[in-house]
Structure 1
């Protein structure tokens, strides 16, 4: 009887164990997978960030290039050892860069809230070496072109100024030193507001922080006759630049007018102490008109872009370059030398002297032509005139001298795109400086040059992959 009882109890235990094992093997309902969804509201490449109603697009480019006769991005040498033809200056420069763009947008009851950033590392080879150290290392760093928030018509952060043209300083070129107008391809810290009136009409107004994007230098006293260098007496910015534009976009092209007010504020007289006093601040200004013509009879996608700029006390608006505008032109061509100051204004060390604002005007533009789906070319150029008044000229270099000058530029760029988003670009640029100084100047190593007009050339080959 006890054996039967044990057998029954053992069988029951086995059945329970088997049932438990089978229960453990039953499939558990999986958590739903949240797939990434395409966001078609804002164009190609956007998708919803999982779990949110925010759309994001990640893009950018990778670029490799070599420039001969100039700084990176085909900026013809304008001063320094390389422009003087010294063996301590390189005659070419290389650069590698990757730029990442992150664009997010969220629809709200106040309209779309947008954030945008464009940033990335780059490495640029050295252009000038010291004797005995021929292997001077280049430099790497982070470039931030944009970092802004847009909300209800406002833009806060780093972006192109409200003064900027839609094509910035590149109507058809990759040359980062095209003059004759403004350039904000590296951005500026600002706040701006844009009105959309309909029918392609808009207007923007903003304030820009003063930095290399909107000022050159302020000359205190005379400049060095052999180099064009001077004592830069700009003080730390005390005011923002007030800027704005009115714009018309149509199927035939674009028309825009921009204006800016720029404060020129000086340091102390000599001796440079708080008790020496300083000249009163002055406000300069700049205005630009720009035109784009599309639908040309020369072919689909062809266009013409032109602009004209006038300024007093704000040369950066007419000598716009990517990065810092040079404070002097110091270049040689054969036996001729150019040694000229580039300054928003001039004042002397004598207490009571006032700032003399520099006047300038310029033109630039390009014709862009598509040969076929793979090949395109652009011809571009500029003309700029810089004028120091009589008082400024006497302060800079005494009686009888004339530091006024003209700059002309001309270039040709050709692009081959064998496949989508991959471009091979070759560009050549010429710069001519027409100056009015006379006499001779000792530059270095006992070399004697005569003041005269100078021509220089540069070229670039670039490979760029957009993504």
Structure 2
């Protein structure tokens, strides 16, 4: 019996030993590899780039638009060109499809966060792009480090809402607008409690030069001569102070802008040139939040003044010249017309013996919006602006003499003009990050010239007598946008 027990115990031990050896040979279950790790330091949507300590966020939107009512361009009023002439060459609608992609990276260092940001758009627009090809726009491309910004970013002069206090259209003028970025080198100091100050050197060559006309070179009512801006020499010098808190925002900005002409005779450097001069612009901005009208409601408003720096009031994308035609009320005239030409300054002369200095142009504008949320799905904005361009007495005389309109009987020549705009947009967001909106805007061009004047042929308009008369146009836009 003892022999049998010993055999049984020995067999069991052998089985256990063999089983243990086999179990030891089996591969262990591998730990799950976290290929994408959430980076919560900088907010939602950031992830660590595998193998690095850099966080990245991808975003953007896809947008489909149609602009209506005889637009002068994508979401622009019919205030110049074929649209302003109301001829059969203008488009009564303009479609645009756009894909926006942005890439945001951030890395914590002993000097603070190093950030890069890139934003580009791919567009296809009626009248601008071919059948198969579209266009590429590089909006932002900058590096931020230790308070410095290097590259293409929103101007330090501008507000957080840029040219959009509540509107969809890019053509609500009356204030600064560089929504597609300005090349710059800037420094921002944070003082705590939402108080900051910035100073910046910014490229004036694209957005910030309006026009500098030599009125002795073939002036007309669409351009007061040859645009005679010289090459850039000194970037615009910009500074701002901002207070950004829970109640809203207050900001004061200022800019110095060099006005530098080429030559009296553009093809002959020995003709000389006017002395360089400096223009400037100042802006005050206010945003109020947490209004008693409803959660999320806000008021955004800016007031801007410039002298020799008109773009700070006209915005970056509006044209230099405006021309709207309409019905006439004076017998013997072909039609009525309203003109407006913007410039940083004007001068006259063919050489340095007869040439004048640069007479700078003043401009001021007010722009703002009230934004109201009806409920989580519906919202409406009411927006408007007023813009005024003033030429001084010497500049007015140079322009009107150059046009040959200074002493025409029955005609009052005055290049000053104003543009008033008012509009509304209503948005429906049926699901998160999908918004459908409809916008309508009225633009009124108030010119200072009056009376009847014979004009030469322009585009499809014949040479004839025209009545100078204020004009207004409607514009509208439908948009569907999906953010991600």
Normalised by the length of structure 2, the TM-score is: 0.86
Looking at structure 1, the residues matched to 132 and 170 of structure 2 have their Cα atoms a distance apart, in angstroms, of 19
Match of 1:269 among 252, 260, 264: 264
Other structure's SS at 1:289 match? strand
* Contact 2:58–2:101 under 8 Å retained in 1: yes
Query: Per-residue displacement from partner, 1:353-380 (whole Å, max 9, x unpaired)?
Result: 1000000111010000000000000000
Give the whole-Å Cα distance in 2 for the aligned partners of 1:138 and 1:203: 46
Spell out, residue by residue over 1:106-156, the C-alpha distance to the aligned partner (whole angstroms, 9 max, x if none): 1111011100001121111117xxxxxxx9869721111100000000000
- Distance in 2, Cα, partners of 1:361 & 1:110: 41
Q: Within 2, Cα distance between the matches of 1:231 and 1:66?
A: 35
- For the Cα contact (< 8 Å) 1:146–1:186, is it kept in 2? yes
Indicate the residue corresponding to 2:312 in structure 1: 317
Name the residue aligned to 1:60.
Answer: 60
1:466 is aligned to 2:483: yes
Is the 8 Å Cα contact of residues 126 and 138 (structure 1) preserved in structure 2?
A: no
Post-superposition offset of 1:247: 0.3
What is the CA distance between 1:44 and its match in structure 2? 0.6
Structure 1 residue 450 corresponds to structure 2 residue 467: yes
How do residues 67-466 of structure 1 correspond to structure 2 at under 5 angstroms? 67-68=67-68, 69-126=70-127, 140-221=134-215, 224-228=219-223, 230-270=225-265, 272-321=267-316, 323=317, 325-335=318-328, 336-350=336-350, 351=352, 352-398=355-401, 399=406, 401-438=413-450, 439-440=452-453, 441-442=455-456, 443=458, 444-446=461-463, 448-466=465-483
Indicate if the aligned counterparts of 2:72 and 2:81 stay in contact, CA closer than 8 A.
Answer: no
Q: Closer, same or farther in 2 for the Cα pair 1:212/1:271, shift >3 Å?
A: closer
User: 1:249: Cα distance to partner?
Assistant: 1.1
Cα distance 1:270–1:248, how it changes in 2: closer, same or farther (>3 A)? Answer: same
> Does the aligned pair in 2 maintain the 1:71–1:92 contact within 8 Å?
no
Whole-Å separation in 1 of the counterparts to 2:29 and 2:245: 57
The verdict on how the C-alpha distance between 1:358 and 1:461 changes in structure 2, with shifts beyond 3 A counting, is same
Q: Any conservation in 1 of the 2:219–2:226 contact (CA below 8 Å)? A: no
- CA separation in 2, counterparts of 1:207 and 1:271? 28
TM-aligned CA distance change 1:72 to 1:374, over 3 Å = farther
Deviation, 1:93, is 1.2
CA 354–372 in structure 1, closer or farther in 2 if over 3 Å, else same: same
CA displacement at 1:327 relative to structure 2: 1.9
Q: CA deviation at 1:446?
A: 4.9
Counterpart for residue 13 of structure 1: none
CA distance in 2, matches of 1:95, 1:236: 34
SS of the residue 2:261 aligns to: coil
Secondary structure of the 1:298 match is coil
What is the CA–CA distance in structure 2 between the aligned matches of 1:82 and 1:318, rounded to whole Å? 23
Cα deviation for residue 426 of structure 1 reads 0.5
CA–CA separation in structure 2 for the residues paired with 1:337 and 1:65:
30
- Mapped contact 1:247–1:254 kept (Cα < 8 A): yes
Aligned to 1:82, the other structure's residue is in SS state: helix
Question: In 2, Cα distance between the equivalents of 1:71 and 1:434?
Answer: 18
Q: Is the 8 A contact 1:73 1:460 kept in 2?
A: no
Question: How many Å apart are 1:437 and its aligned residue?
Answer: 1.4
CA displacement, residues 393-415 of structure 1 (integer Å, 9 cap, x when unaligned): 12112235210011100010110
Shift of 1:228: 4.4
Q: 1:271 to 1:35 in 2, by over 3 A?
A: closer
Deviation at 1:85, TM superposition (A): 0.7
Equivalent-residue separation in structure 1 for 2:481 and 2:266 (angstroms): 52
Q: Secondary structure at the match of 1:35?
A: coil
SS at match of 1:76: coil
> What's the secondary structure of 2:272's corresponding residue?
coil
Question: 1:317–1:139: structure 2 CA closer, same or farther, 3 Å change rule?
Answer: farther
Q: Which blocks of at least 5 consecutive residues in structure 1 are unaligned?
A: 1-21, 128-134
Query: Could you list the per-position Cα deviations for residues 31-88 of structure 1 after superposition, in whole angstroms to 9, with x for gaps in the alignment?
Result: 9734211111011101111111111100000011010132455221221111111111
Distance (Å, rounded) in 2 between the aligned partners of 1:374 and 1:28: 53
Secondary structure of the residue aligned to 2:134 is: strand
Count of aligned pairs: 435
